[in-house]
């Protein structure tokens, strides 16, 4: 079986604060093949790595990243919320992230705001086009990226859209992958994507048994907060997983909650 690509989601964010250089270094140390991180820009247009539109969850402030200068963004403690051990961590720029990670490690830059030209300019300037894939839920950003760069790798992020429609979008964009939530992964959906020449990378999967189930269904890559929790590279009898899910669904109907990995 071919190996499944091991993406560290927001870096190794199970053990270090998400989207910080600490999480990216941990991902490299744990042997991740690539790092997924979220990119947006402040008011001066410099791409920085941050998931949310505001600082609320990470720094307890209501400021919007889009309204802050780079100096204001760099003054934010991006790690203290996770543990005092990380309170020196800052919000990294894209430039710092490219510089701090080895060229052998891929970067999935998930575009979260209107910053595509600046991102491409930075990636090109740092000669990193060969190790970067740009992804986005807002597919207009991917069309913009393709207009600006004819060969940079693109991944179409999928949520609830019809499968045929996202396949068509990906083909029009000459994208390499569909990046999809677990609930959209089935043997049939993966097979259709593969027939269309597209890889399927699944977010966000932390439990080793769930990783194994996704691998058995044929995915090409997994986004995980725990890149050190290995999935087996071998076929799994998926019918057994179906039985397990039925049992869990019954429990849920009785008012119990399903275990839900972060992401
Ligand atoms: O790129 C996969 C995944 O990161 C998309 O969701 O909210 O974690 O950015 P989110
Ligand atoms: Mg993301």
Length of the chain measured in residues: 263
Nearest atom in ligand 1 to 10's CA = 4
Query: For residue 18, is it within any domain?
Result: yes
Q: Provide the residue-wise pLDDT of the chain in tens; the chain has 263 residues.
A: 568 999 999 999 999 999 999 999 999 999 999 999 999 999 999 999 999 999 999 999 999 999 999 999 999 999 999 999 999 999 999 999 999 999 999 999 999 999 999 999 999 999 999 999 999 999 999 999 999 999 999 999 999 999 999 999 999 999 999 999 999 999 999 999 999 999 999 999 999 999 999 999 999 999 999 999 876 554 444 444 344 334 434 443 443 333 333 33
The torsion angle over the Cα atoms of residues 29, 35, 37 and 43, rounded to 10 degrees, is 80
| 223 within ligand 1 shell (Cβ under 6 A) | yes
Domain extent at residue 228: 5-52+92-240
Active site residue 201: no
pTM of the model: 0.88
Ligand 1, atom 8: nearest CA belongs to which residue?
263
Query: For residue 87, is it within any domain?
Result: no
For residue 156, the ligand closest to its alpha carbon is 1
Ligand 1, atom 3: nearest CA belongs to which residue?
203
Nearest atom in ligand 1 to 135's CA = 1
Q: Which residues pair with 201 in a beta bridge?
A: 179, 221
> What is the DSSP pairing of strand 47-49 with strand 34-41?
antiparallel
Query: For residue 69, is it within any domain?
Result: no
| 18 within ligand 1 shell (Cβ under 6 A) | no
Query: For residue 175, is it within any domain?
Result: yes
Nearest atom in ligand 1 to 36's CA = 1
| 97 within ligand 1 shell (Cβ under 6 A) | no
Query: For residue 80, is it within any domain?
Result: no
Overall number of domains in the chain: 1
| 203 within ligand 1 shell (Cβ under 6 A) | yes
Query: For residue 115, is it within any domain?
Result: yes
CB 231 within 8 A of CB 212: yes
Residue 263: DSSP 8-state: -
For residue 223, the ligand closest to its alpha carbon is 1
Query: For residue 26, is it within any domain?
Result: yes
Phi-psi sector, 259: left (phi>0), alpha (psi -120 to 50), beta: beta
**CA of residue 235 to ligand 2 center, whole Å:** 28
State the DSSP string of 217-258.
Answer: TT-SEEEES-TTSPPPSS---HHHHHHHHHHHHHHHHTTPPP
Buried b / exposed e over 119-150, threshold 16 CB at 10 Å, is bbebbeebebeebbbbbbeebebbbbbbeebe
Query: For residue 75, is it within any domain?
Result: no
* CATH number of the domain where residue 16 is located: 3.20.20.190
Closest CA to 49 of 118, 105, 103: 118
Active site residue 9: yes
Ligand 1, atom 10: nearest CA belongs to which residue?
263
């Amino acid at each position: 079986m071919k190996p499944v690509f091991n993406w560290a989601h927001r870096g190794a964010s199970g053990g270090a604060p998400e989207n910080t250089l600490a999480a990216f270094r941990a991902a490299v140390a744990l042997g991740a093949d690539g790092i997924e991180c979220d990119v947006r820009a402040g008011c001066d247009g410099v791409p920085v790595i941050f998931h949310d539109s505001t600082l609320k969850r990470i720094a307890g402030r209501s400021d919007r990243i889009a309204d802050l200068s780079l100096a204001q963004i760099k003054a934010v403690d991006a790690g203290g919320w996770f543990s005092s051990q990380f309170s020196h961590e800052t919000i990294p720029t894209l430039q710092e992230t490219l510089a701090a990670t080895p060229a052998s490690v891929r970067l999935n830059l998930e575009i979260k705001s209107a910053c595509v030209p600046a991102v491409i300019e930075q990636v090109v300037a740092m000669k990193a086009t060969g190790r970067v894939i740009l992804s986005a839920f807002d597919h207009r950003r991917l069309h913009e990226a393709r207009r600006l760069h004819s060969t940079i790798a693109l991944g179409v992020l999928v949520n609830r859209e019809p499968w045929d429609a996202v396949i068509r979008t990906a083909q029009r964009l000459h994208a390499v992958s569909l990046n999809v939530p677990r609930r959209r992964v089935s043997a049939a959906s993966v097979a259709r994507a593969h027939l269309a020449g597209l890889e399927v990378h699944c977010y966000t999967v932390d439990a080793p048994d769930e990783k194994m189930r996704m691998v058995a269904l044929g995915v090409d890559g997994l986004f995980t907060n725990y890149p050190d929790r290995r999935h087996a590279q071998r076929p799994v009898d998926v019918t057994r997983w179906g039985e397990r899910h039925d049992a869990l669904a019954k429990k849920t109907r009785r008012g119990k909650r399903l275990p839900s990995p972060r992401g």
